[in-house]
Each structure stands twice: as structure tokens, then as C-alpha cells.
Amino acid sequence: MNIRSLSLTCVMAAAVAGAFTPAHAADKPRVVILATGGTIAGAGASVANSATYQAAKVPVDKLIAGVPELKNLADVRGDQVFQIASESFTNEHLVTLGKRVAALARQTDVDGIVITHGTDTLEETAFFLNLVLKTDKPVVVVGSIRPGTAMSADGMLNLYNAVAVASSKDAAGKGVLVTMNDEIHTGRDVSKTVNIKTEAFKSPWGPLGMIVEGKTYWFRA
């Protein structure tokens, strides 16, 4: 076989190999998780501690590593913006977070944004971001009622659901969203109505939709 034939054979082999490369490897949505602390990053003294714990203990890389199934939904990367309990949020924190989200939304290599947040002021942050952000890309705020160390902790599933929503093309153009307890709410309307229970967040007109096993289902626009 001469050099020209060998080169042609190599090119054809590369083309065939490329044809069998899974399409989703290149086509996965690219989602950035901005971590701010809160209960979803909290830890208790034992698995029995669901209401008494220290918030904002777990960094974003460990949150992501704790839900390996995220890679099935999107190419995910994390950024630790703050590491505080949400009652410590100030106007300066809100402005810093808003600028960071706005900058990411302008990047062509970002398809969706998830913000992990403590639940005490989650609704205020979601409302603020809904007012100031000008983007059609999905922006999803998520938290948890129980720390990750507790029995029946809700943070892992909430985070998984948030990434599923941020990865969904159907979530585009709906403003800032909040995902808690398998439900999708609008950041404009949602509020924390009860403490401790995982169904703490409610909207006066009901949820926009729900998430089941990584798939979004929308009830209304």
C-alpha cells in the first residue's frame, strides 16, 4: 500500500469512527451551577438532624459530585459565588449575583444557569432576578428544606430537577424559575409558605409544571 492509499484509508476510518460517536456527547446542554450556600449545602450532626444543622458547609464541587447522574442531563460546571446562609443575603449580594448571572447568560457556551440558595430568602432572590435579568435562557433557583446529611434529604433530587429544567428548551423565555419538591414555579409568584416540610414553596396560581425522572411536564405558560 502506497502512502497516498494509506492516507486515504486513515481519513475514511476517522470518518467512520466519527459517524458512530454518540450525538449527545456533543449536543448536551451546557449548564453552570452557581452556588451561594444555604441548607442544600448544609450538614447536620447525624442523619436524624433534619431541622438542626449548619448551613453552607458543602462546596459546589462536592454538591455536583454527589449527583453523578447530572452528567446524563447536561455538561455541568460549578462556580462558588458565596458560601452563606440565605438570611445573610444583602442587597450587595443580590447585585453581585445578578451581574454574575447576566454575564453568564451572554456567553455562547452557556445554555442554562442553576443557582443553589438557602430557602429563607430564596423567593426574594428569585423575584429580584426575574426583574433585572434580560435573557431567554433558563435560569433556575433551587434549594432544599433538609441538609444533605439527613434521612430523606431532598437536596440531591432538587438539584437534579433544577439541572433538568435548565437543560430544557421548553424552559426558555419563561423568566426565572424555582424548582422544589418536583414542581416548577415562577420566580415572580412563588413563596415559602411553611417551614420544615419539603412542599414548603407554593404559588397562588399553582406550579407551572413538574419534573419526573429528569423530564419536564408543563401545565401552563
Query: Which amino acid, residue 60?
Result: V
User: Edge-to-edge strand order for the sheet containing 112-116?
Assistant: 75-84, 30-37, 112-116, 139-142, 176-180, 183-186, 209-212, 215-218
Whether 36 is catalytic: no
* Residue of 79, 88, 78, 33 whose CA lies nearest to 56: 88
Give the containing element (helix H, strand E) for 4.
Answer: helix 3-19
3-state SS assignment for residue 124: helix
CB-count exposure of residue 52 (10 Å: 0-12, 13-18, 19+): exposed
Pairwise CA distance, residues 94 & 161, whole Å: 24
Candidates 36, 39, 149, 179; catalytic one: 39
Report, as residue numbers or ranges, the catalytic residues.
39
